[in-house]
Structure 1
Amino acid sequence: MNARTVIISPAPTANGDLHLGHIAGPFLAADVHTRYARAQGREVLLGTGFQDTSTFVVTTAHRRGVPPAELVANSAAQIEASLAALGIGIDGYTGDDDRFTKWVVDFIGRLHSAGKLELRTMKFPYSARTGQFLVDGFASGNCPECLADCCAGLCESCGRLVAAGELIGVRSTLDPEDPVELREADVLVLPVERYREQLRAHFEAHAAGIRPHMAQALASMLARPLPDFPVTYPISWGIPVPFPEVPGQVVNPNAEPMAWSMHASALAAEARGVAEGTEDALWLAGAGSEIVYFLGFDNIYPFAVSGPAMLLALGGTYELPTRYLTNEFYELDYRKFSTSRGHVIWSRELAAEVPRDLIRFHLAATSPEHQRTSFSRDALAQVTETRLVGPWNRVADQVNRWVGLGPLPVSERAIRAAARMDERFAASYELAGFSLNRAAEAITEQLARLDNHEVTGADAGDFCFEVDRLLRAAAPVLIDLAAQVFGSGPVPAPAVTGSFTPVALPRLRPAKAAR
């Protein structure tokens, strides 16, 4: 086993707060696994942050009529506060500072110095009125591969790289009425095709670490030649590069992920006091780190194709990520979350009204692990009452009848039952079979089993012992309930003896349906 696990959840764009769709996918999953692994005594580092170099910052600021810098500052604080509101325990939180931007330029500069980047002439949409090239969020149209509506750069539907000049029906996002033409510009690219066979071999060797949709998409991408990946863009928004052949250009924000991930892991290590050294120390070959991503399917190209190709281009210096736990879109009432249309539920606002354990449980139960799922406030109230609040409160009331009467005897049958519960939860929490859905299902099933049991004096010890073990197993999801009983920090399993002394268990407050 590796000495440590480095977990990364890709940074959200600093163009707004986090809604439930963000939390239900990578962030809750990464937090739950981290809490579980630490309870097992393992070293785990969890990093994320925010990204302000994306062109979507500019387009959102334009739509809202605010300066981009103001939008970034507000969004960065909101994102961090929303993660905390839902109990997502981030170790390293990246931002926009000199240390980060210097590291990105240094990392890209090493590729440049090694001759791994090449000058290419590419076509980009261009606005003659503004005199600007339109890349990524500045240009929209239809994906040339799957035909879905998308912006340039990456297609959210099929996960592929979308060259701005190849968009079907391309238009300016900032001004759809602005006539757009194609013009050529010289940019630096990474010839990703040179690394295709190495990427394919790597992912074949680590097929168990990839969910089916991503595996299918990667197989399709890697079955044919890969296009050149633009590392620089002829625009002004982003991190400037010092390369003389592309004066005035910036780093493509989708070329930042490996440098950003290293920076996030370095910050996480420093926060936990477990490492010192360079930004990339935990990623070096032989460092003993397993690199794991919890991410949305729409992020697979920069984090699993072009990014690892950059690592390969540096000639074995780094370990490649081995696990990618992807998620699909989480919808609101069966429609995509949309800030611009007001179709959104903000994480912090919901956490101010509903106990966050209920939110975490419901998001786990409905997490879009393999297909799109949907949230509704009424479903949150109904599901949590039926599967969590009602059963837990009845079970807690039963346990509380025996508080102060222990220690109570515990049978071998109960000890075996507790061990089976632990195994079932472990199967949901371990990376090899990680599933928020199954973790929530295990909580539901075990609560229902205990709720249906009529406790007598003869088996009160068994019952209270099994409830205690269930709460310990559910602690990575039900963080506040566990903290009230066991205190803050990881909740390891206690030593098993033939007796158990019950402690008072708190009741859960129900969620209210939508008004």
Structure 2
Amino acid sequence: MGRLLIVAPGPTANGDLHLGHLAGPFLSADVCARYARASGRDTLFGTGVHFTQNYIVTTARRLGEQPEQLRLRAAEQVEATLAAAGIEPDGFVRFDERYVKTVRRFFERLHAEGQLRLRPMTFPYLPATGEFLTDAYVSGSCPVCLGEGCAGLCENCGHWIASGELIGPTSTQHPELAVELREREVLVLPLEEHRAALAAYFDRLAPTMRPRLAQLVEELMAAPLPDYPITLPIDWGIPAPFAETPGQVLYSDTETIAWSLHAIALAAEARGEVPGDHERYWTAQAAPEVVYFFGSDASFAFALAGTAMLLALGGLALPAHFVTNEFYELDSDKFSTSRGHVVTGRAT
């Protein structure tokens, strides 16, 4: 058997880990890694924190601090909470120049291989401030389930919702200002072009997928798959390295695979391996068994869009398992650091 690569995707760097994080993906990933090693399996376990989502900006505003300060403090808290719970990842992703280079290099490769397309997308726009609104910057009703929330990954139904598809979009930071819809050209990964390969892949995974993930995949594959934006016309995030999209940033939710590759490279180095190409641990030739542990709301980003990116690049191993967890709830709503109503994993 090839090496086992375990990835527990990092939470948004806008606060400490809560009990939902710990009792779900992090504890499960740690148990899996310990069991595999006790059985003699060569295993790498990577996790960390995600630093580029604009939920950091909105949470920082609510808390009255700077986004940079919040994401650095959150990373320290998450690492301390994992240690307090006895969870010991090999690699822990932080926001530094090496991470930025890894992400940019990943998307530059996708671009160089002709996998990205320049297409117009519609975004909510604030004429009063000149800002486009995406993800945490805009809220409304999901066109799939009608649940209230922000753009991006819908926490109610799991579908990915483009900002311009929200029903009744409102600025979360300036709710008093009028919103209109405007088009802007962005680079996208056309997921529909990978439909056949994705369908075959999920057919193979069907026996091990948990019900929520299986249902989501069935719903998504029953309709045309979206153009998934790689760049966005906002200013929070890693600057996009493409001439076609000046002034734009890389969409944080598309960093899933680059983040995972980086986490595993850090894990390998922490266990004594010589630093090198961040993709070498994931090559199909190396034949690793890749297992993800994450909350069900991340299923689209990692299972569908992430797999499509791997298929687009070619030569890299596809995940063997996605272990998804349901939400912990507080007052009939999910634990959410962004909403400020969590039970943290340690005394503060």
TM-score calculated relative to the size of structure 1: 0.66
Structure-2 change in CA distance of 1:240 and 1:328 (3 Å): same
Q: State the distance in 2 between where 1:11 and 1:25 align.
A: 12
After TM superposition, give the deviation of residue 268 of structure 1 in Å: 0.7
Letter in 1 for 2:26: F
Who is 1:81 aligned against? Answer: 80
Q: State the distance in 2 between where 1:75 and 1:343 align.
A: 16
Q: State the distance in 2 between where 1:306 and 1:28 align.
A: 25
Who is 2:276 aligned against? Answer: 277
How big is each residue's C-alpha offset from its partner over 1:95-141, in whole Å with a ceiling of 9 and x where there is no partner? 11111111111110011111111111111001112211000111111
Letter in 2 for 1:33: C
Structure-2 change in CA distance of 1:216 and 1:83 (3 Å): same
After TM superposition, give the deviation of residue 277 of structure 1 in Å: 2.6
Q: State the distance in 1 between where 2:118 and 2:338 align.
A: 38
How big is each residue's C-alpha offset from its partner over 1:296-334, in whole Å with a ceiling of 9 and x where there is no partner? 1100111011111111112x3111112000001012365
Letter in 2 for 1:324: F
SS in 2 for 1:221: helix
Q: Is 1:235–1:249's contact at 8 Å kept on the other side of the alignment?
A: yes
Q: Is 1:29–1:294's contact at 8 Å kept on the other side of the alignment?
A: yes
Q: State the distance in 1 between where 2:38 and 2:274 align.
A: 20
Who is 1:348 aligned against? Answer: 346
Q: State the distance in 2 between where 1:103 and 1:129 align.
A: 36
Name the structure with the higher helix share.
Answer: 1
Name the structure with the higher strand share.
Answer: 2
Letter in 1 for 2:75: A
Who is 1:156 aligned against? Answer: 155
Structure-2 change in CA distance of 1:254 and 1:341 (3 Å): closer
Who is 1:70 aligned against? Answer: 69
Q: State the distance in 1 between where 2:239 and 2:12 align.
A: 19
Structure-2 change in CA distance of 1:183 and 1:335 (3 Å): closer
Structure-2 change in CA distance of 1:335 and 1:252 (3 Å): closer
Q: State the distance in 2 between where 1:68 and 1:237 align.
A: 10
Who is 2:243 aligned against? Answer: 244
Q: Highest relative contact order (Cα 8 Å, sep 6+), 1 or 2? A: 2
Q: Is 2:199–2:221's contact at 8 Å kept on the other side of the alignment?
A: yes
Who is 2:198 aligned against? Answer: 199
Structure whose CA Rg is larger: 1
After TM superposition, give the deviation of residue 56 of structure 1 in Å: 0.2
After TM superposition, give the deviation of residue 337 of structure 1 in Å: 2.6
Q: State the distance in 2 between where 1:209 and 1:262 align.
A: 23
SS in 2 for 1:206: helix
Letter in 2 for 1:4: R
Q: State the distance in 2 between where 1:307 and 1:327 align.
A: 18
Structure-2 change in CA distance of 1:33 and 1:120 (3 Å): same
Q: State the distance in 1 between where 2:246 and 2:83 align.
A: 41
Identity %, equivalent residues: 55
Mark the runs of 5 or more structure 1 residues left unpaired by the alignment: 353-515
Letter in 1 for 2:296: F
How big is each residue's C-alpha offset from its partner over 1:367-399, in whole Å with a ceiling of 9 and x where there is no partner? xxxxxxxxxxxxxxxxxxxxxxxxxxxxxxxxx
Q: State the distance in 1 between where 2:316 and 2:218 align.
A: 23
Q: State the distance in 2 between where 1:17 and 1:226 align.
A: 34
How big is each residue's C-alpha offset from its partner over 1:242-275, in whole Å with a ceiling of 9 and x where there is no partner? 2111101110001100111000011111111256
SS in 1 for 2:346: helix
Who is 2:266 aligned against? Answer: 267
Who is 1:172 aligned against? Answer: 171
SS in 1 for 2:128: coil
> RMSD value over aligned CA atoms?
1.5
Structure-2 change in CA distance of 1:71 and 1:291 (3 Å): same
Structure-2 change in CA distance of 1:275 and 1:332 (3 Å): farther
Who is 2:4 aligned against? Answer: 5
Structure-2 change in CA distance of 1:28 and 1:239 (3 Å): same
Q: Is 1:209–1:322's contact at 8 Å kept on the other side of the alignment?
A: no
> Is 1:321 aligned to 2:319, yes or no?
yes
Who is 2:302 aligned against? Answer: 303
Q: Is 2:55–2:338's contact at 8 Å kept on the other side of the alignment?
A: no
After TM superposition, give the deviation of residue 42 of structure 1 in Å: 1.0
SS in 2 for 1:184: strand
Structure-2 change in CA distance of 1:196 and 1:341 (3 Å): closer
Who is 2:99 aligned against? Answer: 100
Letter in 1 for 2:61: H
What is the number of residues matched between the two proteins?
348
How big is each residue's C-alpha offset from its partner over 1:159-204, in whole Å with a ceiling of 9 and x where there is no partner? 1110100101111111222211111101000111000110110111
